[in-house]
């Protein structure tokens, strides 16, 4: 059936492109046309021939007059009558043929044959006239010879388009030249000219016939297409529409226009025939606006018509560009959707769109990208592709659950669509991966602005089920050159740019650069080598000391991962950890770190702990407690000496997978520390509920805390007070200078970690340093006795002089006071706290009006009792710890340190 419908078109196309032979060129005008197209072409050529006959008659009259005048001037009066009769006969032949053709329509081949007879007769009469002229005394007259040749040759120019007629006239002219030429070399010259003119006539005829046949073929195809369009529209199965470059309708099917109530007025935009509100929150209308403004093709877009009845349309359209890439408008097709067809369209939409966000899915985006690249070639402008990855989304899914994650994805999709607007189309590839196609946009500045707004909008807080959720976005950008980029290559380039953005700290965007291919290849090699590193024993653990803030004795070491690469040297965790996370090797590497750290720590003195960082992927593994138990059993390490550090991300919500793991770990007796506290968004409720033993204050708060105007010191002090109230240790990270160490001590941190005490060391050097350390006298649960913040006045005596001071905090072993005088370290003093009695102490440090004291004997805090009723003045606010129940008796020797610590925390 299909072959029958299109066979005619194919035949005509082949006919239009087929070469024409010599016989076809010479006899085309004299043969009976084989079809309607050939007859139309023959009629057109004969019409031109009819118009040339008056010109031929005028030329014959002109040269006849000149010839008769030349004969009269030469004195050949006897030749005037016979020659004149011949010339009059020629003119009469011209005019009679012209009048005969004007009387009515004639068959084109008949006209051509009559003209050929007339041309032959005309040539014979001119030759006869020449013979009469040459027989008399006028044979030597140059003007006579010239008039004869010119008169006979007039037909060559007028019949030039018809090769056969031109050959008749050329032969007659060449014969005349041979008769009248006094110099014989003129004959070959005339012959050459005649042959050249014959070749030109054949070439011109071939070109005219080819162009005419092609034009008629195209015209026939256009007429057939119009008939198809009319039949299609009349069937009611669909209709056509067309707009100009401004979006105004230039064509709309008559049936559809009547259905809409009126013919389209000049300047009416196509979108005016659509309702502002459609199903799906206006997604279809917005998508149509995007395609029309971005000059991007679209297919099967379902919209609602602006009619009184509820009518739905399925629209498809394609932009039109000229050869210079200038936009001419849109042309497309539409169809009315019945309920059944609308249901089918919705089913088709489900296969092409993401069911959660309503954005195009991966398959649809790939199809759109192919169309965008073809569109870029037609409009001669580039096309940009953005790969978008959400930062910290997995953390939200793991902590708040998948339902909240789904709601977050919906809001992210809405924000992406709002930012892109009519500049591009966003789609969801799966999980937290999105993609955006921006047709016709290739300027780096404009793409940078769009990517910046996109990251800014996605990073704004979300309020989901009462939770304040924050995520980020990383964007990779690749730009396709018109006609020179394939979809697969563009996607790969955008992926490489996205990886560069994530490697650059996340929350940013990167444009693709050619060197990223070599970086990707290098990364692939590293991934393969990292898999082999576990098998080939290339991983190492280095240990950084953690010291007591007062005694400066080592109390623990933090295990830090290193990769002893055979060619690249020692590689740091900044490279190893992200690579291991992305390749899925982190659980295996994490298990190796725990086992190795426990085995190394078992060789250290019993007062030295080991701290190990846990990755989110390890905490999500329910088998982690079993791994820790196995490592402790194999190394015979006391559980209380193992400290596992977790990030704030695991505390951001109620996670059904992490909470049981933390509880089981804490039940083993190991200590749990919250790492880099202050950089995340863990709330106080999380600190209250989580089974934590230590808070590690991030180095960003330690550095610059002593600078004027810095609030870091106040933040660190508040963290210390909070930790002491919750029965937790505090470790200040990143201490590198004496000033930072002194500040840490003044603020009351329990422990210090930083380069000032040592950089990470190999296992052998760590063992030697651990053996040289001494116990700091810390209690089971704390690195020093807890301090209590309160305000009280007192007197400090030194060198026989008493000075008024204010007590800021106090513990069993020492206190911090404020006063006007500074003391040398080691100065013996006496602190009088009125009813609490006199305390003998030694100055540990003194600066900026504050002095740290160490008591000679342990101080009983109960002596700081509430003043008796009627006492003069209230010098102290009773702290909460004085109102607690009395401490229970000491636990028996068999009690574990963990149980002792829990009783003290209560």
Per-residue confidence (pLDDT) for residue 610, from 0 to 100: 95
Contact 878, 620 (CB under 8 A): no
Place of tokens 């080691």: 826
Query: Which residues face 830 on adjacent strands?
Result: 797, 840
Nearest to 649 by CA among 409, 433, 398: 398
Percent of the chain residues topping a pLDDT of 90: 16
Contact 466, 397 (CB under 8 A): no
Averaged pLDDT, 466-472: 85
- Cα gap 173→171, rounded to integer Å: 5
- DSSP code of 838? E
pLDDT (tens digit, 9 = 90+) per residue, 705-753?
A: 666 667 778 888 888 888 877 778 889 888 888 888 888 888 888 899 9
Contact 295, 440 (CB under 8 A): yes
868-891 exposure pattern, b = at least 16 Cβ within 10 A, e = fewer: eeeeeeeebeeeeeeeeeeeeeee
Averaged pLDDT, 816-830: 86
Per-residue confidence (pLDDT) for residue 875, from 0 to 100: 36
Cβ contacts of 96 within 8 Å, gap of 6 or more? none
Please, which pLDDT band fits residue 220 given cuts at 50, 70 and 90? confident
Averaged pLDDT, 383-400: 86
Averaged pLDDT, 333-338: 76
Cβ contacts of 836 within 8 Å, gap of 6 or more? 863, 864
Please, which pLDDT band fits residue 264 given cuts at 50, 70 and 90? low
Between 593 and 401, name the one with better pLDDT.
593
- Structural tokens at position 364: 């649809």
- 10 Å Cβ neighbour count for 715? 15
pLDDT at 240 over 70: yes
First to last CA, the chain: 90
Cβ contacts of 560 within 8 Å, gap of 6 or more? 541, 542, 543, 544, 573, 760
Please, which pLDDT band fits residue 792 given cuts at 50, 70 and 90? confident
- Structural tokens at position 889: 């008796």
- Longest CA span, the chain: 171
Per-residue confidence (pLDDT) for residue 104, from 0 to 100: 57
Nearest to 354 by CA among 344, 345, 362: 362
Contact 608, 593 (CB under 8 A): no
CA 516 to chain centre: 16
Per-residue confidence (pLDDT) for residue 8, from 0 to 100: 38
Place of tokens 């933040």: 715
By mean pLDDT, which of 595-609, 719-733, 784-798 is the weakest?
Answer: 784-798
- Structural tokens at position 805: 């001071």
- Cα gap 715→699, rounded to integer Å: 12
- Is 701 strand, coil or helix? helix
- Cα gap 631→230, rounded to integer Å: 82
- Is 391 strand, coil or helix? strand
- 10 Å Cβ neighbour count for 40? 15
Cβ contacts of 534 within 8 Å, gap of 6 or more? 585, 588, 589, 592
- DSSP code of 885? P
| Strand order across the beta sheet in which 472-480 lies | 425-430, 433-439, 383-391, 472-480, 509-511
- Cα gap 359→425, rounded to integer Å: 9
Cβ contacts of 891 within 8 Å, gap of 6 or more? 899, 900, 903
- Cα gap 109→99, rounded to integer Å: 17
CA 407, 412, 413, 414: dihedral to nearest 10 degrees?
A: 90
Sort 81 into a burial class: Cβ within 10 Å, 0-12 / 13-18 / 19+.
Answer: exposed
3-state helix, strand, coil split of the chain in percent (to 5) is 50, 20, 30
Sort 904 into a burial class: Cβ within 10 Å, 0-12 / 13-18 / 19+.
Answer: middle
Place of tokens 């040289």: 772
Percent of the chain residues topping a pLDDT of 70: 75
Mean pLDDT, rounded, of the chain: 76
Dihedrals phi, psi of 755, to nearest 5 degrees: -65, -15
Per-residue confidence (pLDDT) for residue 454, from 0 to 100: 94
Length of the chain: 906
By mean pLDDT, which of 205-214, 241-250, 551-560, 763-772 is the weakest?
Answer: 205-214
- CA 95, 96, 102, 108 dihedral sign is negative
Contact 545, 758 (CB under 8 A): yes
Please, which pLDDT band fits residue 595 given cuts at 50, 70 and 90? very high
- Structural tokens at position 483: 């006609």
Per-residue confidence (pLDDT) for residue 761, from 0 to 100: 92
- Cα gap 319→226, rounded to integer Å: 20
- Cα gap 838→854, rounded to integer Å: 14
Residue 818: its H or E element: strand 814-818
- DSSP code of 139? G
Nearest to 830 by CA among 861, 794, 865, 790: 794
| Strand order across the beta sheet in which 312-321 lies | 249-252, 239-243, 327-337, 312-321, 298-304
491-517 exposure pattern, b = at least 16 Cβ within 10 A, e = fewer: bbbbbbbbbbbbeeeebbbbbbeeebe
* 280-289, 602-611, 639-648: which is most confident: 602-611
By mean pLDDT, which of 10-19, 412-421, 859-868 is the weakest?
Answer: 10-19
């Amino acid at each position: 059936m299909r072959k029958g419908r299109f066979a005619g078109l194919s035949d005509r196309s082949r006919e239009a492109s087929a070469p024409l032979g010599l016989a076809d060129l010479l006899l085309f005008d004299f043969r009976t046309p084989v079809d309607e197209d050939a007859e139309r072409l023959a009629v057109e050529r004969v019409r031109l021939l009819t118009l040339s006959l008056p010109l031929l008659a005028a030329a014959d009259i002109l040269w006849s007059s000149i010839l008769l005048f030349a004969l009269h001037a030469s004195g050949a009066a006897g030749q005037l009558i016979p020659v004149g009769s011949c010339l009059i006969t020629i003119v009469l032949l011209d005019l009679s043929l012209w009048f005969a053709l004007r009387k009515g329509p004639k068959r084109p081949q008949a006209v051509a044959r009559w003209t050929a007879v007339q041309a032959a007769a005309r040539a014979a009469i001119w030759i006869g006239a020449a013979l009469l002229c040459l027989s008399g005394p006028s044979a030597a007259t140059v003007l006579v010879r010239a008039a004869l040749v010119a008169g006979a040759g007039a037909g060559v120019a007028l019949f030039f388009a018809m090769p056969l007629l031109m050959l008749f006239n050329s032969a007659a002219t060449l014969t005349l030249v041979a008769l009248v030429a006094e110099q014989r070399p003129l004959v070959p010259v005339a012959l050459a000219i005649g042959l050249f003119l014959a070749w030109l006539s054949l070439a011109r005829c071939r070109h005219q016939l080819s162009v005419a046949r092609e034009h008629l073929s195209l015209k026939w195809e256009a007429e057939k297409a119009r008939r198809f369009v009319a039949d299609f529209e009349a069937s009611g199965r669909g209709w056509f529409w067309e707009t100009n470059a401004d979006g105004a309708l230039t064509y709309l099917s008559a049936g559809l226009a009547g259905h809409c109530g009126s013919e389209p007025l000049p300047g009416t935009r196509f979108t005016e025939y659509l309702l502002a509100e459609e199903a799906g929150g206006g997604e279809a209308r917005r998508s149509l606006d995007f395609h029309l403004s971005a000059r991007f093709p679209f297919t099967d877009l379902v919209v609602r018509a602006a009619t009184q009845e509820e009518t739905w349309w399925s629209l498809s359209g394609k932009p039109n560009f000229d050869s210079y890439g200038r936009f001419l408008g849109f042309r497309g097709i539409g169809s009315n959707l019945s309920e059944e067809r609308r249901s089918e369209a919705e089913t088709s939409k489900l296969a092409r769109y993401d069911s959660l966000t309503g954005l195009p899915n991966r398959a649809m985006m790939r199809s759109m990208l192919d169309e965008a690249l073809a569109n870029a070639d037609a409009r001669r402008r580039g096309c940009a592709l953005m790969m978008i990855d959400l930062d910290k989304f997995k953390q939200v899914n793991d902590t708040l659950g998948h339902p909240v994650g789904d709601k977050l994805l919906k809001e992210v999709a809405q924000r992406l669509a709002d930012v892109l607007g009519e500049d591009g189309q966003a789609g969801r590839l799966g999980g937290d991966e999105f993609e955006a196609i921006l047709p016709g946009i290739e300027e780096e500045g404009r793409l940078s602005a769009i990517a910046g707004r996109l990251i800014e909008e996605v990073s704004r807080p979300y309020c989901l089920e009462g939770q304040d959720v924050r995520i980020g976005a990383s964007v990779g950008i690749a730009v396709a050159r018109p006609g020179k980029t394939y979809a697969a290559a563009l996607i790969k380039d955008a992926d490489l740019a996205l990886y560069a953005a994530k490697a650059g700290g996340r929350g940013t965007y990167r444009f693709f650069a050619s060197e990223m291919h070599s970086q990707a290849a290098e990364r692939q090699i590293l991934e393969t080598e990292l898999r082999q590193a576990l098998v080939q024993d290339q991983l190492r653990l280095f240990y950084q000391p953690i010291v007591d803030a007062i005694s400066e004795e080592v109390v623990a070491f933090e295990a830090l991962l290193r990769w002893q690469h055979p060619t690249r040297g020692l590689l740091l965790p900044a490279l190893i950890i992200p690579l291991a996370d992305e390749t899925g090797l982190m659980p295996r590497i994490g298990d190796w770190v725990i086992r190795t750290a426990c085995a190394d720590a078992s060789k250290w003195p019993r007062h030295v702990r080991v701290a190990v960082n846990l990755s989110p992927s390890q905490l999500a593994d329910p088998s982690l407690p079993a791994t820790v138990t196995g490592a402790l059993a194999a190394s015979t390490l006391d559980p209380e000496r193992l400290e596992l550090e977790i990030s704030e991300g695991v505390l951001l919500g109620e996670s059904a997978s992490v909470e049981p793991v933390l509880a089981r770990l804490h039940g083993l007796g190991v200590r749990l520390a919250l790492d880099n506290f202050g950089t995340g968004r863990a709330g106080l409720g999380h600190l209250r509920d989580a089974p934590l033993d230590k808070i590690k204050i991030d180095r960003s708060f330690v550095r610059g805390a002593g600078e004027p105007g810095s609030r870091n010191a106040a933040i660190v002090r508040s963290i210390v007070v909070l930790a002491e109230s919750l029965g937790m240790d505090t470790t200040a990270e990143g201490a590198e200078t004496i000033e930072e160490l002194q500040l840490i001590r003044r603020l009351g941190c329990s422990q210090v970690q930083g380069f000032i005490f040592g950089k990470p060391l190999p296992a052998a050097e760590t063992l030697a340093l651990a053996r040289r350390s001494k116990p700091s006298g810390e209690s089971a649960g704390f690195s020093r006795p807890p301090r209590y913040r309160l305000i009280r006045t007192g007197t400090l005596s030194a060198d026989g002089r008493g000075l008024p001071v204010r007590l800021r905090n106090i513990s069993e072993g020492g206190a911090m006071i404020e006063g006007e005088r500074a003391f040398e370290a080691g100065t013996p003093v006496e602190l009088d706290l009125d009813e609490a009695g006199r305390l003998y102490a030694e100055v540990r440090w003194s600066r900026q009006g504050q002095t740290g004291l160490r008591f000679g004997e342990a101080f009983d805090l109960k002596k700081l009792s509430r003043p008796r009723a009627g006492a003069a003045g209230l010098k102290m606010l009773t702290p909460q710890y004085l109102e607690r129940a009395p401490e229970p008796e000491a636990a028996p020797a068999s009690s574990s340190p963990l149980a002792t610590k829990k009783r003290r925390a209560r």
